[in-house]
């Protein structure tokens, strides 16, 4: 595999997939950027491991911390809120209770 340009390879990142050859190994260049998405406090970068195809992101110390809900559910809700949907509509679309969506929304607005 040759070079893929300056953006490929986050050598300080390691793959979080236990099954992966490069699990926890840094400096192999197997982790590449897979885009970004916006959250309340900035940009979260998404990564993908070229070895196993696992995607993950750089969310630490974000809204997801300490929540028991799967983070993709939270992200889904937040993305609906971001495009201007109301709490009730977001709850309906994501199958999350209104109260919960409200809580995430408040949390997001505070951060
Ligand atoms: Zn991997």
CATH of the domain at 20: 2.20.25
79, burial (CB in 10 Å: exposed 0-12, middle 13-18, buried 19+): middle
74 CA from centroid of ligand 1 (Å):
24
| C-alpha closest to that of 97 among 66, 69, 72 | 69
20 CA from centroid of ligand 1 (Å):
4
Same domain, 54 and 65: no
pLDDT tens string 36-74:
888 777 778 888 899 999 888 876 434 454 556 667 788
| 4 pLDDT more than 90 | no
- Full-model pTM: 0.45
- Protein residues with C-beta less than 5 angstroms from the ion ligand 1: 15, 17, 20, 49, 51-52, 54
26 CA from centroid of ligand 1 (Å):
11
Same domain, 18 and 42: yes
37 CA from centroid of ligand 1 (Å):
21
């Amino acid at each position: 595999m040759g070079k893929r340009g300056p953006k490929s390879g986050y050598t300080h990142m390691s793959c979080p997939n236990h099954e992966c050859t490069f699990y926890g190994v840094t400096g192999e260049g197997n982790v590449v950027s897979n885009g970004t998405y916006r959250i309340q406090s900035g940009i979260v970068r998404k990564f993908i491991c070229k070895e196993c195809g696992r995607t993950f992101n750089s969310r630490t110390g974000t809204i997801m911390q300490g929540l028991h809900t799967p983070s993709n559910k939270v992200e889904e809700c937040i993305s609906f809120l971001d495009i201007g949907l109301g709490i009730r509509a977001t709850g309906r679309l994501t199958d999350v209770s209104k109260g919960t969506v409200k809580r995430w929304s408040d949390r997001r607005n505070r951060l």
